Structure 1
């Protein structure tokens, strides 16, 4: 069985891909949480705490919030 690879063992392109992915994920999460905080509860579909918790889940939570959690 192969040992787990560490960040320092990745090639330069792999390191850049990981860093870009992390930045994108954090940006989406912060944007979703900021929007949720500023948006009145009447404009959110469902409970705000549930959407806040969902926004902490990978890319899927913030994307789901932006796609399905806001009222027009």
Structure 2
């Protein structure tokens, strides 16, 4: 696979993970009315999404690609 194609695919994956993390953090606000268990579940899910996003950002950083937060 061409390195530029690999970079582009990884950047696209990072952008999807970033959008997913943003969405999951928004769900925490929506869960606020549903009680502490719903808030905790939404928080856990958002944390996992942020961890995935950060993992892709780290991989891109090793390739010399800088991502903006």
TM-score (norm. length: structure 2) = 0.52
Whole-angstrom CA distance in 2 between matches of 1:50 and 1:40: 9
Paired residues in the alignment total: 49
- The answer to whether the aligner puts 1:56 opposite 2:56 as a matched pair is no
Q: Shift of residue 29 of structure 1?
A: 0.9
Q: Which has the higher helix share?
A: 2
CA RMSD of aligned residues (A): 2.8
TM-score (norm. length: structure 1) = 0.50
Structure 1 residues without counterparts, runs of 5 or longer: 1-9, 60-72
Does the C-alpha gap of structure 1 residues 40 and 18 become closer, same or farther in structure 2, counting only changes over 3 Å?
Answer: closer
Structure 1 segments (4+ residues) deviating >4 Å: none
